[in-house]
C-alpha cells in the first residue's frame, strides 16, 4: 500500500495564461474598432484589473485553465465536483499498474495516533489503528481480485482515503469564485491545499486576472461567514462592514 499525507498532493498547470482573452473580450464589448484591430492591440493589464475590480466578470469566462492533479483523496474529490462550472476527467480507479493493482491512500497526520479495540466475529479483541484497517482492506481487496470478483463491486469497500487523479478545467470566473470558498480557513484542509496550489499557479500565469484572488476576506475585504467565521480569522465581518457603511451614509 502506498501511503501519502494530506498536503503532499501535486498540481500542475497544463494550459492557461499566456495570451489573456479577458482583455480581448472586454475591448470587444466597448470598443468601436473592428475585431481584427482589437485582436492586434497590445495587451492591457490595467483594463483587466479594472473590469475585475468593478465586478464585470463575464469577460473572464473566455480565459480557461487546465490543471493536472494527483495525490488527493476521494474525500476531496467529492467536495471538488460540487463546483458545477468546471470540467473533470477522473482517472479510473481500476487501472492496472505493472501487472499489480495499486492501493494508494492519502491520510491526515491527525488520525494516525488513534487506536481502538475492535471485536472480531470470533469474539477476539484487537487494537487497530488507521494503517492496520487499511492493510486489512487491501488484503481483502487483492484476494477478491484474485478470486475473480469484479473490481467495480469490490471497490464499494475502498476507503475515502483512496487517491484520485484528475484533469480539471475551469474558466477564470469560475476559479475566482471557487478560490473565495475553498481558500477560506473554514474549508477542509486538503481541498484548501488544492485550491491554494491552483491559485498560486494562476497568479504566476495571469497576474492581472488573479491579482486579488483568494478567500472572500481577501477578494471582498470582509468575511461573509459572519457567525461562522473561522476562530483564527479576525477580518471584519459582513454584518459589521454593512453597519459601518450605513452609519457613514447617515452622516453624509
pLDDT, tens digit, for every residue of 71-118?
999 999 999 998 888 999 998 776 655 445 678 999 999 999 999 999
What percent of the chain lies above the pLDDT cut of 90? 59
What is the chain's mean pLDDT, rounded?
A: 90
State yes or no: pLDDT of 34 exceeds 70.
yes
Q: How far is CA 158 from CA 110, 139, 189, in A?
A: 21, 11, 21
The strand pairing partners of 2, in sequence order, are 104
CA distance 207 to 234: 27
Beta strands in the chain (DSSP E): 2-5, 10-15, 64-73, 87-90, 96-97, 100-101, 104-107, 115-119, 125-129, 163-171
Quick one: which H or E segment has residue 172? helix 172-182
Q: How many residues does the chain have?
A: 252
| Most confident residue range from 127-131, 147-151, 244-248 | 127-131
Averaged pLDDT, 29-48: 85
Band (pLDDT 50/70/90 cuts) for residue 10 is: very high
Averaged pLDDT, 229-244: 85
The catalytically annotated residue of 27, 182, 192, 237 is 182
pLDDT of residue 180: 95
pLDDT of residue 197: 98
pLDDT of residue 187: 94
pLDDT of residue 64: 96
Catalytic residue check, 101 = no
Averaged pLDDT, 229-247: 85
Summarised one tens digit per residue, pLDDT across range 146-192 is: 999 988 898 899 999 999 999 999 999 999 999 999 999 999 999 99
Averaged pLDDT, 51-69: 93
State yes or no: pLDDT of 251 exceeds 90.
no
Domain residue spans in the chain? 221-252
pLDDT of residue 96: 54
Read off the C-alpha cell for 202.
494562476
> For the CA atoms of 10, 15, 82, 214, what is the dihedral angle to 10 degrees?
80
pLDDT of residue 243: 86
Coil vs helix vs strand at 206: coil
Amino acid at each position: 500500500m502506498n501511503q501519502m499525507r494530506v498536503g503532499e498532493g501535486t498540481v500542475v498547470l497544463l494550459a492557461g495564461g499566456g495570451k489573456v482573452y479577458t482583455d480581448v473580450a472586454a475591448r470587444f464589448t466597448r470598443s468601436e474598432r473592428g475585431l481584427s484591430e482589437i485582436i492586434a492591440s497590445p495587451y492591457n493589464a490595467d483594463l483587466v484589473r479594472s473590469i475585475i475590480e468593478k465586478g464585470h466578470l463575464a469577460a473572464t469566462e473566455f480565459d480557461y485553465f487546465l490543471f493536472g492533479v494527483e495525490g488527493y483523496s476521494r474525500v476531496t474529490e467529492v467536495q471538488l465536483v460540487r463546483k458545477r462550472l468546471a470540467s473533470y476527467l477522473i482517472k479510473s480507479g481500476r487501472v492496472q499498474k505493472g501487472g499489480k493493482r495499486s492501493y494508494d491512500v492519502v491520510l491526515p497526520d491527525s488520525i494516525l495516533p488513534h487506536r481502538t479495540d475492535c471485536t472480531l466475529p470470533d469474539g477476539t479483541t484487537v487494537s487497530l489503528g488507521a494503517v492496520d484497517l487499511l492493510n486489512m482492506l487491501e488484503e481483502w481487496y487483492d484476494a477478491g481480485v484474485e478470486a475473480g470478483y469484479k473490481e467495480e463491486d469490490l471497490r464499494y469497500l475502498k476507503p475515502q482515503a483512496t487517491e484520485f487523479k484528475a484533469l480539471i478545467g475551469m474558466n477564470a470566473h469560475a476559479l475566482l469564485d471557487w478560490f473565495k470558498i475553498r481558500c477560506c480557513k473554514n474549508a477542509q484542509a486538503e481541498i484548501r491545499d488544492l485550491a491554494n496550489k491552483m491559485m498560486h499557479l494562476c497568479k504566476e500565469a495571469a497576474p492581472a486576472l488573479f491579482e486579488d484572488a483568494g478567500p472572500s476576506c481577501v477578494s471582498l475585504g470582509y468575511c461573509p461567514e459572519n457567525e461562522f467565521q473561522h476562530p483564527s480569522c479576525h477580518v471584519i465581518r459582513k454584518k459589521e462592514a454593512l453597519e459601518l457603511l450605513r452609519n457613514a451614509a447617515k452622516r453624509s
